[in-house]
Amino acid sequence: MSGKGLMPRDLQRWRMRFVMALIFGGFAALTARAAYLQGWQNDFLNKQGEMRVQRIVEIPAHRGMITDRRGDPLAISTPVESVWLNPREAEAAPRQIQALSSRLGVEPDELRAEFKDKGKAFVYLRRQLPPEVAAAAMALNIKGVYSVPEFRRYYPAGEVMGQVLGVTGVDDKGLEGLEYAYQSWLAGKPGAKRVVRDRLGNIIEVLDQQRAPKHGQDLTLSLNLQLQYLAYRELAAAVAEHKAKAGALVVLDARTGEVLALVNVPTYNPNNHATMTRDSSRNRVVTDSFEPGSTMKPFLVAAALEAGVVTPETRIDTGPGWFMVGEKRISDVHAKGIVDITELIKVSSNVAAAKIALEMKSEDYWTLLNRAGFGAPPGSGFPGEVGGRLRPYESWRPIEKATMAFGHGLSVSLLQLARGYCAFADDGILPRLTVLKRGDAALGVRVMSAKTARELREMMETVTQDGGTAPQARVMGYRVAGKTGTAHKAAKGGYSADKYIASFVGLAPVSDPRLVVAVMLDEPGGREYYGGQVAAPVFAKVMAGALRFMAIAPDAPLEDVPAPSGVVGEAT
């Protein structure tokens, strides 16, 4: 029995020794491992530790400011915060999700779904929040929820500058208008800094700045915000009064080629992207082309004078007010009888214009139109410029040659048309357009002789006098010249019988021209639809304001403009 008692005690001692050996062996292994890591893996471990607490954080760069020519802000960047989530490390109690939902304005169910989606490491919860709203969300101390500073674009003038400036996206990149055209100039380059974060992702220490942010450059436009407000107000009022589908207006400095105002109706508020539609975001002055109608007659007469086909004293018999070109009839609204070249412009005779065109070489008319910028984008700096349509003169048939005399068979943008009239204003020189502040006159292209340009100014001045087609274009204290246009809109298979483009383009003061204003109303729906009735009054109000803003000296008696005794209409 004594032998049987020894066996359990030996087994107990063996077990105890074995366990002790395991314990001491484990300690030995840990000690060896620690020595190995400390002695041979120290740099690696330090690097791994830094990677878990240190981060490279982007320093946002703000976008350059856009101002008008006087320095008034048109587009500025304001600091905002965006809140984002790392679902893989996110932890939140139901009450925290409910609170976060309330502060961010996001549905609770949507937030819960984002928290549960562990397949993602990054998702925005809300972009471009006011800093105080983002701070309230971050005060909840929810693990996995972070904020990042950004910038949001703000447009003080709102809808008045909608299509001109365009918009930026949530990533602060230009999407429309000048924001898009000058993206590389306005955009900055973000910097970077190395920081230490705590377990909640909060920055507790900035270690160093690795790269300083490069902020975007400011952009000074040629536009005058005060004049822009005036132009928008008058155009919007005219569109509403005459029930027009749309309207467009542009003001140019004829000497420098600067765009001083450019407005479209309808428009949108760039501060609210929800107001943007395909129709409201169109910069019609630049991107829409139309048949200009009788506003082209001064160019025809200029080409005829330059070619020696007519002189200012030439008289043309318009007969009964119509004549046939092949099987097509060219007609005036009223019979004009025998007219000279000035009367052709004053009463806007299609018959007289067509007869002159048929006497000319097609090449002579085409050459002047080409020099005046028609058929090519005007190069102002706005995105989406159209070149219009000016076919090669070799393909012109007699009827096409006749109708092009009064603006049918070719198409232009309003900006092209206004630029073309600058040649009449600047003694035959066509300026290079710009939407940036220039100040000094740039080298232009000669379109016609100075003598021809001056003769056309005097002829177009009669348009605004009694008996002309646009006495409502007159401005008190200034001599004004211009031309009306009332063209049937092109439709499938021909022209619409009751849809018109009404326009007026003019310059002032005639003695020393400085400004050109072009106005277009698309499909005026009221009883009045002639350019002299619906577009000329808008021209007069905007031109009067622009002349005052620029302190341009009057060149006519300062007396009230009498109400017109009658308006002669033209439909071409």
Sign of the four-CA dihedral 92, 94, 99, 102? positive
* CA 388 vs CA 298, 376, 383, 414: distances in Å: 18, 7, 15, 10
CA 104 vs. chain centroid, Å, equals: 32
Q: How many residues are present in the chain?
A: 572
> What does 305-344 look like in DSSP terms, one character per residue?
HHHTS--TT-EEE-TTSEEEETTEEEE-SS---EEEHHHH
Give Cβ neighbours of residue 50 (< 8 Å, ≥ 6 apart).
none
Instruction: Please report which helix (H) or strand (E) contains residue 454, including its range.
Output: helix 450-461
Among residues 77, 147, 294, 411, which one is catalytic? Answer: 294
How far apart are the two ends of the chain, measured CA to CA in Å?
136
Conformation bin of residue 523: beta by default, left when phi > 0, alpha when psi is -120 to 50: left
Burial of 259 (0-12, 13-18, 19+ CB in 10 A): buried
**Which residues on neighbouring strands pair with residue 300, listed in sequence order?**
none
Q: Which two tokens stand for residue 36?
A: 């190995």
Closest CA to 526 of 237, 239, 243: 243
Contact 321, 383 (CB under 8 A): no
Distance, CA of 313 to CA of 344 (rounded, Å)? 11
Q: Catalytic residue at 294? A: yes
Contact 370, 258 (CB under 8 A): no
Contact 295, 485 (CB under 8 A): yes
Q: Which two tokens stand for residue 347?
A: 């009463």
Distance, CA of 87 to CA of 445 (rounded, Å)? 63
- Amino acid making up residue 170: V
Q: Is 386 helix (H, G, I), strand (E, B) or coil?
A: coil
Q: Is 102 helix (H, G, I), strand (E, B) or coil?
A: helix
Distance, CA of 374 to CA of 354 (rounded, Å)? 20
Distance, CA of 188 to CA of 60 (rounded, Å)? 8
Q: Tell whether omega for the bond before 554 is within 30 degrees of 0, i.e. cis.
A: no
Q: Tell whether omega for the bond before 298 is within 30 degrees of 0, i.e. cis.
A: no
Contact 280, 162 (CB under 8 A): yes
Closest CA to 188 of 167, 164, 147, 218: 218
Distance, CA of 36 to CA of 17 (rounded, Å)? 28
Contact 478, 547 (CB under 8 A): yes
* Positions marked active-site: 294
